[in-house]
Amino acid sequence: MSTPSPVHLKLSDVRAFIGSKDFDISRAFYEALGWTTEYLDDQLALMANGDHRFYLQRYYQKDWLENTMLHLTVADAAACHAQIAAVLASGAYGDARVAPPKHEDYGARVTYVWDPAGVLLHLAEWRG
């Protein structure tokens, strides 16, 4: 039996959908982290940071969100930690939290950030 030829999708973009426990608080959280809202309706926001985008949904399922992760490459994980800790000090973003950067075995220095719904962001600085 022969193996079929692979499909060549010719992708130009990939966008994840993530949910929110409180849509407005999550949207404000991402805006405080430098994202802008490019599109907004009652159920969906397209969040952008440079050429990178994701969809924020007005949808909450605890198990799903607490198992959702986004890996984001950053220039300086320590600077991100300091800036995000300052943003979170206001207490305006519910259960959002940030952990100090740590070196991971796969070679990145990572600051972990949990958004207000429990989505885990890996802010990874690649060194060397």
pLDDT digits (tens, 9 = 90+) for 63-97: 999 999 999 999 999 999 999 999 999 999 999 99
What's the CA dihedral at 82, 85, 89, 94 to 10 degrees? 160
Segments in the chain below pLDDT 70: 128
**pTM reported for the whole predicted model:** 0.92
The CA-CA-CA angle for residues 71, 74, 80, to 5°, reads 100
pLDDT at 3: 86
Are 55 and 20 spatial neighbours (Cβ–Cβ below 8 Å)?
no
